[in-house]
């Protein structure tokens, strides 16, 4: 009997963008199972909590039967081995991504010979899209329509309400 090929798609997903979603769909068509794994980072620089990021990704993946969402900490290769994933999926948007991704892939290969990294390209429409830019645009009151799912856009607007609407009261400040 053919063994199922499980892939892990790791990242920060702060927040998930349409570029990530494009890659989730592409990898779900390629592998038997795809585990989207959000790094539980101890540094507090993320905009969205881990629970919020899980919720956003679960909503995105709810119609894909072979995609699940989870979190991990520690080494990615240890997590991949632990869940029986033989492939790490990473997206490459432009040449600028390549150097960092190559370094990470080769380091992961050194750490584990059981896990192979596969680079995938999102649709060219998303080649300039990043979570960082999405946050910056939204913070400054710009529209991220078409760059993230509508539910994520709504969450961004809620997060940045204070900045987008200067008249809104700042939490904790007595007026």
Residue 165: CB minimum distance to ligand PNS, A: 30
B/e letters for 41-79, b = 16+ CB within 10 Å, e = fewer, are: eeeeebbbebebbbebbeebbeebebbbbebbeeebbeb
Which residue out of 2, 44, 63, 110 is catalytically annotated?
44
Tokens of 20: 């990530």
Length of the chain (residues): 175
The one segment of 44-52, 56-64, 103-111, 166-174 that binds ligand PNS by CB under 6 A? 103-111
Return the residue of 10, 15, 19, 122 that touches ligand PNS, per CB under 6 A. Answer: 10
- Applying CB under 6 A, the span of 9-17, 57-65, 116-124, 132-140 interacting with ligand PNS comes to 9-17
**Is 17 strand, coil or helix?**
coil
131 as an active site residue: the answer is: yes
Contact track, ligand PNS, 30-49, x by CB under 6 A: ---------x----------
What is the bridge-based pairing of β-strands 116-120 and 67-72? unpaired
Q: Which helix (H) or strand (E) holds 133?
A: helix 131-139
Stretch in the footprint of ligand PNS (CB under 6 A) among 6-14, 59-67, 120-128, 157-165: 6-14
First to last CA, the chain: 68
20 belongs to the catalytic site: yes
The footprint of ligand PNS (CB under 6 A) covers: 10-12, 39, 75-76, 104, 107-108
């Amino acid at each position: 009997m053919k063994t199922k090929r499980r892939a892990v798609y790791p990242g920060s997903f702060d927040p998930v963008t349409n570029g990530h979603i494009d890659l989730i769909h592409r990898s779900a068509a390629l592998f038997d199972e795809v585990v989207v794994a959000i790094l539980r980072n101890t540094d507090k620089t993320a905009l969205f909590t881990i629970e919020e990021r899980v919720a956003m990704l679960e909503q995105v993946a709810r119609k894909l039967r072979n995609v699940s969402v989870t979190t991990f900490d520690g080494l990615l290769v240890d997590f991949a081995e632990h869940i029986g994933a033989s492939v790490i999926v990473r997206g490459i948007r432009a040449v600028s991504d390549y150097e960092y991704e190559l370094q990470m892939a080769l380091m992961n290969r050194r750490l584990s010979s059981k896990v192979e990294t596969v680079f995938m390209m999102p649709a060219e429409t998303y080649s300039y899209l990043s979570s960082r830019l999405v946050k910056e645009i939204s913070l400054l009151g710009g529209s991220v329509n078409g760059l993230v799912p509508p539910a994520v856009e709504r969450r961004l607007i809620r997060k940045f309400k204070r900045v987008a609407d200067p008249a809104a009261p700042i939490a904790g400040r007595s007026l």
